A and B are shown apart, each in its own frame.
Chain A
Amino acid sequence: MIEVKGLTKYYGELAAIHDLDFSIDRGEVIGFLGLNGAGKTTALKILGCVLLPTSGDVTVDGIDIARNPHDVRRRIGFLPDTPPLYNDMTVGRYLRFAAELRGVPGSEADKAVGEAEEKTHTREVHDQPIFSLSHGYRQRVGVAQALVHRPKLLILDEPTSGLDPVQIVEMRATIRALRGDHTVLLSSHILSEISQTCDRLLVIQRGEIVAQGSEQDLATKLGGGGTIEVEVAAPSTRAIEVARTVTGIGECTVLSETGGVAVVSLQGSPDLRPKVVRALVQNGIDVLRIDRGAARLESIFLRLTQDAKVEDGRPQ
């Protein structure tokens, strides 16, 4: 769906993004993860055909964005970090305007607006002036304008920015519901959002992709196999002793131990969870809970963004 090769953008002497290479398959939900100022917005603006790159090749659906930006724009829906909403219009009129602007014929515009409102749960504010909307609804109308012309690719720059926790959950559900009908590329610096919404991550730092892959891939490659968190009704020393007998389990750390219940973090691939449970139970230890290591993505993100340049998930 998207092929990016050597994408570079300079603002004066400053390289906002440098030599980006990645590809995105049809139907994927991709998270563009990076700290503020890492180059996410610049990259998304180029993919959204708002900015032109200094150098590099970008194709969307096989079409070069520099040579045929119009054809690409018909195929994409773009939500910038601030939703581009005309406060003086009602939601319905605004979405109809956006649809017609992107080439939806007037006779089909109402139907397209209805579909977009249904997907983003904004039908109830159809006749409401945009200036009177809450922040959550403004963000949803922003997503609605991006998909009103039924684009193949949706580019969403920080779609949950400024939303309260309830609105974030609703927005996540909205984005997840778009999977399948659209290829979605969204950016965020909120790790949990990326983790819960996306199939694959592109981690960008100082204008360069420092890692890409699924959360699991990154954890495995960076964390030496990732971590497993297990809660047992037994002394931690006994649990660690048994867990270490499983091949692939490395360093073990006690996270908490109260009232005969211990929580232990085990260095190792989450794929080893069945073997760990089996070993513990066979040794008479009751397993109360087992999971992937908590705060895993946060630790991956911190490692990636602390100057350690990583290529394809592997530190250099």
Chain B
Amino acid sequence: MSAVTLIARRELGGYFRSMTGYVIAGLVLLIDGLLFNAFVLSAGEMYSADVLSNFFYISFGTTVIASVFISMRLVAEERQTGTLVLLTSSPVHDWEIILGKYLSALAFLAIMTLATVYIPALILVNGKVSVGHLAAGYLGLLLVGATTLAIGVFGSALARTQVLAAIFSGVIVVSVLIAHLLARVTDRPLKDMFMALALYARHFPPFQTGSIHLRDVVYYIVVSYVALFAAVRVMEARRWK
């Protein structure tokens, strides 16, 4: 078994062996359900497609917040408890450690996200849902989760404690979330750059409405790669400190 698989399997098991995983998953499902009930079902008559779109809008927010909390422990907790040494003193590359941890968090997030599928299923009771819309929306959520988790892994690699990790990641995520606001008050080329960086405003609405644009998929993959690359570099740099 490869080191990446070994580390990912151990980490994923850790989510289910401890209360943390259940608490995060439970809270996300609860908040998703409550918000869907409060802002979608209570909003009067709507097309099913709009209801589904609103559900993905709500899930975008909960996925981003959950990703920050899921990823904050990945490296920072191990550094705090001293278990990181087990990995860093083993014949394993730093990129394998980061990738293994990232994949475990992504798998956990995917399981949690797919557990919300009962909400779109509820829409079927009184309306129709396109499978394509559903698939596009969930792909968008997984891509947003993957990106936020990668930023979270970077924050966790930087920080000495989990709280600091959550703060670092939160600051970065909020910065890319509000990048489109900066675009409104700046001129080109900064305007274009900020707009292109916007985590939600530029890249998520197409998924929300059932469209998949290659440009958006590439954006999420590139940001994830850059964040993970930076996390690996932080790990390598720490061996010199």
Q: Which residues of A pack against B, CB within 8 Å?
A: 11, 48-52, 70-71, 73-74, 76, 78, 80, 82-89, 97-98, 100-103, 106, 145
Contact = CB atoms under 8 A, between A and B. Distances in A.
A71 B7 CA distance: 20
Contacts of A82: 81-82
A52 B14 contact: no
Contacts, number: 64
Interface residues of B, number: 25
Nearest to A155: B89
B4 to A, nearest CB: 11
Contacts of A103: 91
Contacts of B89: 48-50, 73, 76, 78, 80
Given A52-B239, A80-B82, A84-B84, A101 B90 contact: yes
27 contacts: A11-B241, A50-B85, A50-B89, A50-B239, A51-B240, A70-B93, A73-B89, A73-B91, A76-B89, A78-B85, A78-B89, A80-B82, A80-B89, A82-B81, A82-B82, A83-B82, A84-B82, A85-B83, A86-B83, A88-B13, A89-B10, A97-B6, A98-B90, A100-B6, A101-B7, A101-B86, A101-B90
B82 A101 contact: no
Contacts of B91: 70-71, 73-74, 102-103
Interface string B1-30: 101001100100110011000000000000
B44 to A, nearest CB: 47
Q: Which 7 A-B pairs have the closest CB atoms?
A: A84-B86, A82-B82, A88-B17, A73-B91, A78-B89, A84-B83, A70-B91
A50 B88 contact: yes
Contacts of A89: 10, 13, 17
B92 interface: yes
Contacts of B240: 51-52
